[in-house]
Amino acid sequence: MTRWQGIAAIMLAAAFMSGCDDQDSANSGNTDALSALAPAAGTSGDDGARTEAQTVDKVVDIVTAEVSTACLRELPEPSVASATPARLTLTLENFTYSFEEGRHRFTHDRRFKETTGIGLYIYRGKVCVEDAQVCADACVRYRVEPGGSLTQRGHHIATPVDPDRMTLQYWARDDAGNAFTIFREIRTDGETIKVSEN
């Protein structure tokens, strides 16, 4: 990995890990994009009442399975018995475009919604740019209450490439212990953006 790719990955992690502005089920968090690199101020413990971004020690050169396992270890034990797993949707909306510091920046809102009545934790996230080849992968801690939603306002993805293919992936575990992922592919061409689920 070159020095510039490392810097880009750290910038991606900072943008990726910015906090949450609003949650229908009463979570809140820090909106400063750089807060991802330091402990989140004013966050609560394992009670799930607030959103928490964990400290990121390593952003690059981490084996994917090790990241997932390390992030999952930090979650509380499953607390409900259910044959039906949680169902999580992710909507990316309200995109705005800017060109800053040599990068095409797409600011947007991310809305997670649980629809089966089983709460969940989103414990890991990964964003990739430059045809999904340059990635930032980090532990996060977002809580979505049963039947609730979590809206993160003002997130952004920035890329030096135009057009580009970017990916966004989150790992989650519901309160019954079921683990799953959610994935979005984002294609850009100038100021135009298209999101698909893939």
Give pLDDT tens digits for 106-133: 999 999 999 999 999 999 999 999 999 9
Rounded average pLDDT over 167-178: 96
Please tell me the pTM assigned to this model.
0.71
CB 78, CB 176: distance < 8 Å: yes
Amino acid identity for residue 29 in this structure:
G
Average pLDDT, the chain: 76
Q: What Å distances lie between residue 112 and 7, 8, 99, CA to CA?
A: 29, 26, 27
pLDDT of residue 9: 45
Nearest to 51 by CA among 117, 149, 118: 149
CA distances (Å), 174 to each of 45, 160, 197, in order? 18, 36, 21
What φ, ψ does residue 33 adopt, rounded to 5°? -60, -30
| Cα of 169 vs its chain's centroid, Å | 7
Contacts for 21 with CB less than 8 Å, ≥ 6 apart: 28, 29, 31, 151, 152, 153, 154
Give the model's pLDDT for residue 66: 59
Q: Give dist(CA 21, CA 53) in Å, integer.
A: 13
| Interval 4-49: pLDDT, tens | 444 444 444 444 444 444 444 333 332 322 222 222 333 233 333 3
Residue (of 92, 100, 109, 94) closest to 186 by Cα position? 92
Q: How much of the chain exceeds pLDDT 70, in percent?
A: 65
* Beta bridge partner(s), residue 106: 97, 157
pLDDT grade for 74, boundaries at 50, 70 and 90: confident
